[in-house]
Structure 1
Amino acid sequence: MAQTQHSGDSRNDAGSPVYAGGYAQTPYSQSPSMQQPAYGQSYQTPQQYAGGPYGTAAPTVMDTQATYSYENARRTSVVRAYAEMTAGLAVTAVVAVLTQMTGALESFLMATGTLGWIGLAIVQVILAVVLGARVMSMRPATARVVFYLYAALMGFTLSSIFLVYDLGSIGLTLGLCVGFFFALTMLALTTKRDMLKAGPILMVALLVLVVGELILMFVSPSDTTLMVVSAIGLLVFAGLTAYDAQKTRALFASYAGNPEAIERLSILCALNLYLDFVNMFLYLLRLFGSRD
């Protein structure tokens, strides 16, 4: 299974987006075509049909039941991935609030300085890359622990937004992000448009966004530039959210009937969706948040 990773990027300004993750791509299985009977075989006796005495009635019922079971299993798997993502976001939120209440981040930075912040960023990138690249070979319990550890470290660093933005705007932006994320997910899972074809374009856009932000941070770090880049970043991660929603469904369809692989994939997909949500939240906060 070929895998692609987001490039890592963390900076020491509060509310800066963090890009890290693993994107697994799997060839999708195709259903075998049904063989049609040869011309002249339509007048078979009832005993020649597998099923009931009236020909295809029994196989039709069995196919309907199998299709229903398959769709139900795939739906359950997608829900599981979003549940894992929500749990990761809850861990991040709880750690961020506790860190702010205890002043742990300020104490850590006073003791370690800039090197401590850079070290945190490096550890987060390593965890995300390792999880994205090796999740299918890890034990599911180990992969889940790594994911929640990553979410906790993200919460520790994201507590810095409380030092820059007022609490009301953080809450308002969070609610806006939840609604935006939910709408994009529902659109991606119900539309007939294939967002998977946009994957390479979105990956290139993400790479250009990361490089562009690094360059503009040194060349033209103005408020106007920040707003423009934030708007572009919001659009990129909105597209990635829809893409990851459809990719999650497609991956689970490819691994239907393999519970252990489904469990691992739920963590990988949760990581991708988690990163989409966090980055959208940070871009929305930079666009609409009120600074203290």
Structure 2
Amino acid sequence: MALNTDRRYMSRSQAEAAQIDVGLRSYMLRVYNLMASGLVLSGIVAWVIVNVPAVTGLFYATQGGQVVGMSLLGTIGMWSPLIVLFAAMFMIRSASAAVVQGMYWLFVALQGIGLSLLLQIYTGESIVRVFFITAATFAALSLYGYTTKRNLGAMASFLIMGLFGILIAAIVNIFLASSLLQFVISGVGVLVFAGLTAYDTQRIKEEYDVTMDGETMSKTATWGALSLYINFINLLQFLLFFLGQRE
């Protein structure tokens, strides 16, 4: 009798584990699809800004048909994703899933303004090459974060400290314009966002709960996609510093 009870318990446990496994794969696929769609939208916005003269004139100052700098609108657009991000963080608990998704799409669309600057600085061929290098690196790091049994939360505090260090150094370098400091920032940036990619993937995986309702799951997936999107974009920009070919 006890043996039959144990078998029923094991069967039920295995069924529940299988349900969680299937649900987790579906959830992670949703996160990655959102992130990939965000990258596509950002890329389209950046391409339109650079290649459609009427739009280019809105975001860049031109002289003799050549881009000489960003316009006031372009400068505002460069910083606007940060405003959207802080607003989303402030509203995360009270906002509906539809609002959170709307802010995500707004963020990635505005991010295309900043990415258009990369199209002005680096050759298209080198951007494509570094993009695929970034994608392969990101995939490997994310796979590691998903499959490893090691708790990556222990390095989270160091990664956050490194992130703040990069931000402070980048602000300082606006005034110093030091190529050496930029080299250090880019090197540290690659390491920090590589670590964050693995850590965030594990964190997103652990946040999944089969009992979450649809609204909560949608919000959680969107935030997860945003984290991975930010990691990918920053990894791309820092790798371009080392591997990109300038115009």
Residue 72 (structure 1) aligns with: 22
Please name the residue that 2:61 is paired with: 110
Normalising to structure 2: TM-score of the pair?
0.89
What secondary structure does 2:43 align onto? helix
Q: Is 1:273 matched up with 2:228?
A: yes
Matched, 1:151 2:108: yes
* CA displacement at 1:241 relative to structure 2: 0.8
1-side partners of 2:126 and 2:5: how far apart? Answer: 66
Contact 1:95 1:156 in 2 (8 A): yes
**3-state SS of paired residue (1:281):** helix
1:136 and 1:264 map into 2 onto residues whose CA distance is: 10
CA contact (8 A) 1:131 1:143 kept: yes
Distance 2:72 2:51 in 1: 23
Count of aligned positions:
240
Q: Name the aligned partner's letter for residue 257 of structure 1.
A: M
- Cα distance change, pair 237–57 in 1 and its aligned pair in 2 (3 A): same
Give, in whole Å, the separation in 1 of the partners of 2:19 and 2:31. 19
CA distance in 2, matches of 1:157, 1:175: 19
For the pair 1:86 / 2:43, whether they are aligned, the reply is: no
Which of 1 and 2 has greater Rg? Answer: 1
Alpha carbons of 1:113 and 1:84: their partners in 2 closer, same or farther (altered >3 Å)? Answer: closer
* SS, match of residue 54 in structure 1: helix
Preserved CA contact (<8 Å) 2:123 2:245 = yes
Write the deviation string for residues 51-89 of structure 1: whole angstroms up to 9, x where unpaired: xx9332222211110111012212221221111111111
Aligned to 1:60: 10
> 2:59·2:72 contact (CA, 8 Å) conserved in 1?
no
Q: 1:263 matched to which residue of 2? A: 218
Percent of counterpart pairs with the same letter?
24
Is the CA contact 1:202–1:239 (under 8 Å) kept in the aligned structure 2? yes
Residue 96 of structure 1 corresponds to which residue in structure 2?
46
* Alignment check: 8 A CA contact 2:104 2:226 kept: yes
> 1:120-171: per-residue Cα shift (whole Å, max 9, x none)?
2342111111223323432222221211111111112311222111111011
Asked whether the 8 Å contact 1:105–1:160 carries over to 2, the reply is: no
Matched, 1:174 2:124: no
1:1-292 equivalent positions in 2, closer than 5 A = 46=1, 54-103=4-53, 104-110=55-61, 115-219=72-176, 221-253=177-209, 256-292=211-247
Segments of 5+ residues of structure 1 without an aligned counterpart are: 1-45
Question: For the structure 1 residues 218 and 108, does the alpha-carbon distance in structure 2 shift closer, same or farther, using more than 3 Å as the test?
Answer: closer
Tell me how large the CA RMSD over aligned residues is.
2.1
Deviation digits for residues 174-213 of structure 1 (CA, Å, limit 9, x no counterpart): 0110001001001111112111121122111100111012
Once the two structures are TM-superposed, the CA of residue 275 in structure 1 deviates from its matched residue by 0.4
> Aligned equivalents of 1:216 and 1:96: distance in 2?
25
Runs ≥4 residues deviating over 6 A:
none
CA distance in 1, matches of 2:70, 2:37: 31
Whole-Å separation in 2 of the counterparts to 1:113 and 1:160: 9
Counterpart CA distance in 2 for 1:105 and 1:241 is 33
- Give the TM-score taking structure 1 as reference length: 0.76
Q: C-alpha deviations, 1:69-110, integer Å up to 9, x for none?
A: 012212221221111111111111111112211032343333
Give unpaired runs (5+ residues) of structure 2: 63-68
Residue identity opposite 2:51 in structure 1: M
